[in-house]
């Protein structure tokens, strides 16, 4: 196992070679899937025509204004979900501690539903509403699991129960509103990337990129924290501040995606674990989780478009179907471990 | 008695409602090997945790160079006080070198995470703890004894003037126990201050310069083993009838339990 060392002035860094290789492969895979996403749509376009369209040729408006925002948003949102999953799995020290499992997605969706049905539903209102919803659920889960601490099975079980309750509340809200609002909200409930335009995604993408940048600044400390509660503190991690920052960043990432697409289940749960196994890196590494999230969401969205073409399914249907199997496997593994 | 940079004054230590210690005062002698002994649940580990600021005393304070350890920036304390908990858990899929490298965290900044000093400290720590040849092995595949030496290497890489260890010998066979105690002695000779909880009173007598005997959250006796260890003390602290004879090798006190119904 080899590593590369970089040292210049006061800057120094060590990277495992296999991390670099994995990152390069992931980037190629993501770009490949994005190009495929540009080619596929109501009609197939060859990559040559797509590149022509991107540079202003025939059919350019269609590719640039419809397909391009969709694949860009899918890649960025997938990274956000993967990163958020890695955050919460690190904070809870549990592979089940993903935001979608413990009800943060559902809570964010409640906030967004409120903004959508009671307020006028602008992008800023949706984002704010879903972030508040996510934070409220995070607060409730934390308060209820105080006895067992932030780690531990107790938090997960409480989160799963809360998730079910919030989903019931969300259904109730949808039943109470007028039919056309309800139809719009229901499609969104499955987590859908259909009909994204630059106007809808500009603001969320700026937020996500900013949150990911902040997260990158905290990632080295986050990985140090995986040494456990005692050694993390005695080697110099300010654990309380770190955890607060991480929860805020994780809720921000999850809620921003939910505000645009509705809750997309299981990416945040599975991406960090798949990324971890691919990278063979210690703990739950952040970068592989983010890249795997992007790959999973891009691939799921392609499947969602192809499966019942020309009808384009909400991507959440695909991620839930695949992720449900994964969750059953993971749950049985976790229960057996205890 | 020598000077003490690390001191605890009138500590009240508690977990929630349960009070473990009150009015606990300790001066840790600089550059010495201090062993804390006492029966199970007597508050030894709790005292150690308070010294490394894992537990905040509800009254009193722990000071380093006259300053409250909770008032320092946390990385600054981490460059002074190294701690090995009783049952540390390694992150999944981590290799020995990667784990030992984590000990360098308090010396690193966002921009500098692998300086020449880091590399040197990790190499020295691994060879001092005897795990240099395991560097690329996954920690999960190691035996309990090897794993314990890896954790020691992590704390050594932290390069602190204080080493606080909570029952570091508990997972080791007898040979590795004495190897570890010899290593801690060498580190003391190199100028570090060692504070460790030990279960074996004879090991404590042989290796410690300063012995702290605790019972029910209080310090019952402290001082050089030869001055404090007696049959009366053992009866009081451990409720163990015994005779104390000189160790045939080192001349330090050696506890020999008497037969009977304990």
Q: Does residue A151 register a pLDDT over 80? A: no
Q: What is the mean pLDDT of residues A107-120?
A: 87
Q: From CA A296, how far away is CA A79, in angstroms rounded?
A: 9
Q: What is the pLDDT of residue A1?
A: 57
More confident residue, A5 or A150: A5
Q: Does residue A287 register a pLDDT over 80? A: yes
Q: Does residue A235 register a pLDDT over 80? A: yes
Looking from the CA of B20 toward its CB, the CA atoms found within 13 Å total 21
Structure tokens at A333: 């593994």
Q: What is the pLDDT of residue A126?
A: 82
Q: What is the pLDDT of residue B229?
A: 95
Could you tell me which of A281, A284, A280, A238 has the C-alpha nearest to residue A84? A284
State pTM to two decimals.
Answer: 0.91
Q: Mutating which of B17, B55, B96, B114 best tests the A interface, going by the most A Cβ atoms within 10 A?
A: B114
* Cβ atoms < 10 Å from Cβ of B138: 17
pLDDT band of residue A3 (cuts 50, 70, 90) is confident
Q: Does residue A190 register a pLDDT over 90? A: no
Q: Does residue A152 register a pLDDT over 80? A: no
Interface contact flag, A220 B102, Cβ < 8 Å: no
Query: Is the minimum CB–CB distance between B131 and chain A shorter than 8 Å?
Result: no
For all residues of chain A together, what is the average pLDDT? Answer: 88
Residue A223: list chain B partners with CB under 8 A. Answer: 91
Helix A286-307 with A17-39: angle, nearest 10 deg: 20
Q: What is the mean pLDDT of residues A29-42?
A: 91
Min CA distance, B62 vs chain A (Å)? Answer: 15
**Over pLDDT 70: what percentage of chain A?**
96
Q: What is the pLDDT of residue A149?
A: 56
Q: What is the pLDDT of residue A9?
A: 82
Positions in chain B short of pLDDT 50: none
Helices (H) and strands (E) in chain B, counts: 9, 12
Q: What is the pLDDT of residue A42?
A: 72
CATH architecture of A17-312: Orthogonal Bundle (1.10)
Q: Does residue A145 register a pLDDT over 90? A: no
Could you tell me which of B25, B108, B203 has the C-alpha nearest to residue B194? B203
ipTM of the complex in this document? 0.92
Q: What is the mean pLDDT of residues A149-165?
A: 80
Query: Is the minimum CB–CB distance between A236 and chain B shorter than 8 Å?
Result: yes
Backbone angles phi, psi at A47, to 5 degrees: -55, -35
Interface contact flag, B91 A282, Cβ < 8 Å: yes
Q: What is the pLDDT of residue B80?
A: 96
Min CA distance, B75 vs chain A (Å)? Answer: 4
Strands B81-84 and B162-166, sheet pairing: parallel
Q: What is the pLDDT of residue A313?
A: 85
Structure tokens at B68: 């409250």
């Amino acid at each position: 196992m080899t590593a590369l060392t970089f040292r210049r002035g006061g800057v120094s860094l060590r990277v495992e070679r296999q991390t670099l290789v994995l990152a390069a492969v992931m980037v190629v895979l993501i770009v490949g899937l994005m190009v495929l996403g540009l080619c596929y749509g109501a009609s197939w376009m060859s990559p040559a025509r797509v590149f022509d369209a991107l540079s202003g040729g025939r059919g350019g408006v269609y590719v640039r204004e419809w397909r391009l925002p969709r694949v860009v948003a899918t890649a960025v949102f997938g990274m956000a979900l993967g990163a958020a999953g890695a955050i919460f799995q690190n904070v809870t020290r549990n592979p089940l501690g993903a935001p979608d499992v413990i009800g943060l997605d559902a809570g964010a969706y409640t906030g967004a539903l409120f903004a959508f049905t009671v307020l006028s539903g602008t992008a800023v209102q949706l984002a704010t509403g879903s972030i508040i919803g996510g934070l409220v659920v995070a607060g409730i889960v934390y308060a209820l699991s105080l006895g067992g601490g932030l780690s531990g099975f107790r938090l997960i079980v409480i989160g799963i129960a809360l998730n079910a309750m919030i989903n019931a509340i969300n259904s109730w809200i949808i039943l109470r509103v007028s039919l056309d609002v309800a139809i719009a909200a229901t499609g969104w409930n499955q987590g859908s990337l259909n009909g994204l335009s630059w106007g809808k995604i500009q603001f969320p993408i700026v937020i996500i990129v900013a949150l990911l940048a902040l997260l990158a600044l905290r990632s080295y400390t986050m990985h140090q924290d995986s040494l456990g509660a005692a050694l993390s503190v005695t080697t110099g991690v300010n654990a309380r501040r770190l955890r607060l920052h991480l929860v805020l960043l994780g809720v921000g990432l999850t809620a921003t995606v939910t505000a645009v697409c509705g809750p997309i289940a299981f990416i945040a749960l599975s991406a960090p674990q798949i990324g971890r196994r691919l990278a063979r890196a210690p703990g739950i590494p952040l970068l592989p989780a983010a890249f795997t999230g992007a790959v999973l969401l891009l691939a799921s969205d392609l499947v969602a478009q192809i499966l019942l073409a020309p009808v384009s399914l909400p991507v959440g249907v695909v991620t839930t179907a695949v992720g449900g199997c994964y969750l059953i496997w993971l749950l049985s593994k976790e229960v057996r471990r205890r | 008695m020598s000077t003490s940079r690390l001191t605890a004054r009138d500590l009240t230590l508690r977990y929630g409602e349960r009070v473990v210690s009150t009015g606990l005062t300790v001066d840790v002698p600089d550059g010495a090997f201090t062993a804390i002994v006492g029966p199970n649940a007597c508050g030894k580990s709790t005292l150690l945790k308070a010294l490394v600021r894992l537990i905040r005393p509800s009254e009193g304070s722990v000071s380093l160079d006259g300053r409250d350890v909770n008032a320092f920036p946390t990385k600054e304390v981490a460059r002074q006080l190294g701690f090995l908990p009783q049952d540390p858990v390694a992150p999944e899929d981590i290799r020995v070198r990667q784990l030992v490298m984590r000990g360098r965290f308090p010396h690193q900044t966002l921009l500098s995470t692998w300086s020449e000093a880091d590399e040197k400290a990790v190499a020295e720590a691994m060879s001092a703890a005897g795990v240099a040849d395991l560097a690329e092995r996954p920690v999960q595949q190691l035996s309990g004894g090897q794993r314990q030496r890896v954790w020691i290497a992590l704390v050594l890489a932290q390069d602190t003037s204080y080493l606080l260890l909570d029952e570091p010998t508990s997972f080791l066979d007898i040979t590795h126990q004495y190897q570890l105690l010899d290593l801690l002695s060498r580190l003391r000779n190199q100028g570090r201050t060692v504070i460790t909880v030990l279960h074996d009173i004879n090991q404590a007598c042989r290796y410690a310069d300063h012995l702290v005997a605790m019972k029910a959250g209080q310090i019952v006796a402290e001082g050089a083993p030869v001055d404090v260890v007696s049959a009366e003390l053992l009866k009081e602290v451990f409720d163990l009838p015994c005779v104390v004879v000189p160790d045939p090798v080192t001349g330090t006190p050696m506890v020999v339990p008497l037969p009977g119904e304990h």
